[in-house]
Amino acid sequence: MTAARIMAAQQQQQQQQQQQVLQDTTRLASSTMALQVVFRVLTFALNAFTLRYVSKEIIGIVNVRLTLLYTTVVFLAREAFRKACLSHSAQQSWRRTVNLTWLAVPLGVCWSFALGWLWLNVLEVPDPAVIPHYGTGVVAFGISAVIELVSEPFWVLAQAHLFVRLKVIAESLAIIARCSVTVLLVLIWPQWGLVIFSLAQVLYTSLLSLCYILYFVKFLGSQEAEKKSFPLRSMMEFLPRYSVSQDFLDWKQAWLAWSFFKQSFLKQILTEGERYVMTFLNVLSFGDQGVYDIVNNLGSLVARFVFLPIEESFYVYFSKVLERGKNIKSQRREEIAAASEVLESLLKLVTLIGLVIIAFGYAYSQLALDIYGGSLLSGGSGPVLLRFYCLYVLLLAINGVTECFTFASMSKEEVDKFNYIMLGLSLSFLCLSYYMTSWLGSIGFILANCFNMGLRIAHSLYYIWKYYRDSPYRPLSGLAPSPVVICVLVVSAAVTGYSEVRLCCDMGWPSRLAHILVGAMCLSGTLAAVLLSEGKLTHFIRSHFLSKKPKKKV
């Protein structure tokens, strides 16, 4: 009886730990969503403001070419280390993990020099009379990438221990500072052009890194750190250090990072493929690139502030709950059941959001673009481009959650095998993007993305089906909303489409407001249908995302 009670107590403790991890993860996702809302609102307001003071050519250079340089350096230098270091392992040594994360800095310096030279000497250089200070912009965005990589060890430790408020506060302060400086300089010295955005970008990454460093200066050695058994005791332990008693790196973790690096290189091509095609093949002018990027950002609004935080946060959850590389029979049944339930609910949540965007996006794309950027965006191909993007958002949503689970549970060998699939997808995507853009213009980018995203989803769905096929759990059922919700969405799409024809968008603001009111009523009916027919999903959201329980993490 004593042994049985001990085992029962251990199982209960494990369940409590799993529930705590899930609660902390959903709080992290919720907080990150709120942060992304603020970030997107400020960014879109900034773009709407700058469109009235700077040329669309400068917007195209900043938002496409220079931002591509920055994101490429940062992604290739750190993404692999993040995934490897956040993978769950009972034998994980944080000393060696910190050493591994610091490798992102020299790697980022190398990428900055290599890509900076490419951006300055190989790619088409804008006319200095139209877009001055291009070289200054390239140097500034490359430096800003390296500055952000300095905070990588601090970010990994904060993410692994689910420090929710730290990420929210740091990124919020940095975003507000960047937007404030940009607006101020655009108002006072609009002729500075790219220099304004360069200064704001360097300020953003500097403040972001500084916030992480200052937080841990205060946190380490405090009673709170002792209470949470934080693995590091002083700031000196954040520096790379060699120890005689153990290897400098955990080589198993390092080889996993190498596998993720090869995958990250290919994933970056798929993620930013249209920008690479625009940058290297010159299929669109700088002005058209600026318009496309604004429409693209508007279309990906929900994907960025809802789907991306879910993917990042629940990758941490699945990594902690599941043992990487082990099949379903080799893991605890409670953990498999919990992961299945969470995956099913997440798939149902993102699928419903994506379907709502499709149902309402068609009728409100032109109005949204007209309100945001005037005839510059609402005229021409802008509304059609945004309508096609609504379909892409649904695919983005499903892919984010399925790959989140897949990459958290794959073995190193499976990750290596998937790299070959990604190589094929990358090559096909680049070719398809070029030919479809030459044929259909900007819309070709969206269709090429949809095609490749569908192939990635098919791979992840097959992996998840195979992973759970010998168990009674079927998390992929989350992809099928209830028939009631589907019917309501179809009716809403028809009603709002008719409303657009009758009331929008050239009949003045009273008609526009009536069109918006029709959409609000249809959306309310859709939400009511979800609440009444998707009880399991509603309980999941109320229990985790809307929980009012006291926070136990910083």
Secondary-structure breakdown of the chain: helix, strand, coil percentages, each rounded to the nearest 5 = 80, 0, 20
What pLDDT is recorded for position 470?
81
Determine what percent of the chain is predicted with pLDDT higher than 90.
Answer: 25
If pLDDT is split at 50, 70 and 90, which confidence band does 113 have?
Answer: very high
In this structure, what DSSP letter does residue 547 have? -
> Is it the case that residue 4 has pLDDT exceeding 90?
no
Higher pLDDT, 439 or 215: 215
Distance, in Å, from the CA atom of 486 to the CA atom of 193, rounded to the nearest integer, reads 48
- Name the one residue in this structure whose structure tokens are 């009728």: 363
What pLDDT is recorded for position 452?
86
Distance, in Å, from the CA atom of 441 to the CA atom of 444, rounded to the nearest integer, reads 6
Cα→Cα distances 406→114, 301, 378, 420, Å: 32, 25, 39, 16
Nearest CA among 522, 470, 198 for reference residue 363: 522
Rounded to 5°, the CA angle 151-155-161 comes to: 155
Cα→Cα distances 152→77, 185, 344, Å: 10, 30, 32
The region, left, alpha or beta by phi > 0 then psi within -120 to 50, assigned to residue 374 is left
Nearest CA among 383, 377, 380 for reference residue 364: 383
Determine what percent of the chain is predicted with pLDDT higher than 70.
Answer: 85
Distance, in Å, from the CA atom of 36 to the CA atom of 467, rounded to the nearest integer, reads 32
Secondary structure (3-state) at 469 = coil
Distance linking the first and last C-alpha atoms of the chain: 40
Q: Of 109-123, 260-274, 349-363, 468-482, which range is least confident?
A: 260-274
Distance, in Å, from the CA atom of 426 to the CA atom of 424, rounded to the nearest integer, reads 5
How confident is the model over 347-369, as a mean pLDDT? 90
Summarize pLDDT for 389-400 with one digit per residue, the tens. 899 999 998 998
Contacts 24+ apart (CB under 8 A), 298-301: 298/44, 298/368, 298/369, 298/372, 298/386, 299/385, 299/386, 299/389, 299/390, 299/392, 299/393, 300/389, 300/393, 300/396, 301/40, 301/44
What pLDDT is recorded for position 106?
94
> Is it the case that residue 112 has pLDDT exceeding 90?
yes
Two tokens at 402?
């399925």
C-beta atoms surrounding 78 within 10 Å:
25
List Cβ neighbours of 342 (8 Å cut-off, separation of 6 or more).
Answer: 22, 314, 317, 318, 540
What pLDDT is recorded for position 272?
79
What pLDDT is recorded for position 553?
40
If pLDDT is split at 50, 70 and 90, which confidence band does 9 have?
Answer: low
List Cβ neighbours of 289 (8 Å cut-off, separation of 6 or more).
Answer: 60, 63, 64, 65, 278
List Cβ neighbours of 539 (8 Å cut-off, separation of 6 or more).
Answer: none
384, 420 Cβ separation under 8 angstroms: no
- Highest mean pLDDT among 184-188, 190-194, 195-199 belongs to 195-199
C-alpha 350: how far from its chain's center? 14
What pLDDT is recorded for position 352?
93
Two tokens at 56?
């669309």
In this structure, what DSSP letter does residue 192 have? G
> Is it the case that residue 461 has pLDDT exceeding 90?
yes
> Is it the case that residue 24 has pLDDT exceeding 50?
yes
> Is it the case that residue 13 has pLDDT exceeding 80?
no
Question: Is the CA virtual torsion 53, 56, 58, 62 positive or negative?
Answer: positive
If pLDDT is split at 50, 70 and 90, which confidence band does 23 have?
Answer: low
> Is it the case that residue 28 has pLDDT exceeding 80?
no
Distance, in Å, from the CA atom of 431 to the CA atom of 108, rounded to the nearest integer, reads 28
Radius of gyration of the chain (CA): 24
Amino acid at 436: M
> Is it the case that residue 551 has pLDDT exceeding 50?
no
C-beta atoms surrounding 214 within 10 Å:
12
C-alpha 268: how far from its chain's center? 12
Residue 373 backbone phi and psi in degrees, to 5: -125, 5
Amino acid at 470: D
What pLDDT is recorded for position 196?
93
Count of alpha carbons within 13 angstroms of residue 546, beta-carbon side: 7
Q: Of 94-103, 266-275, 489-498, which range is least confident?
A: 266-275
Distance, in Å, from the CA atom of 84 to the CA atom of 407, rounded to the nearest integer, reads 10
> Is it the case that residue 22 has pLDDT exceeding 70?
no
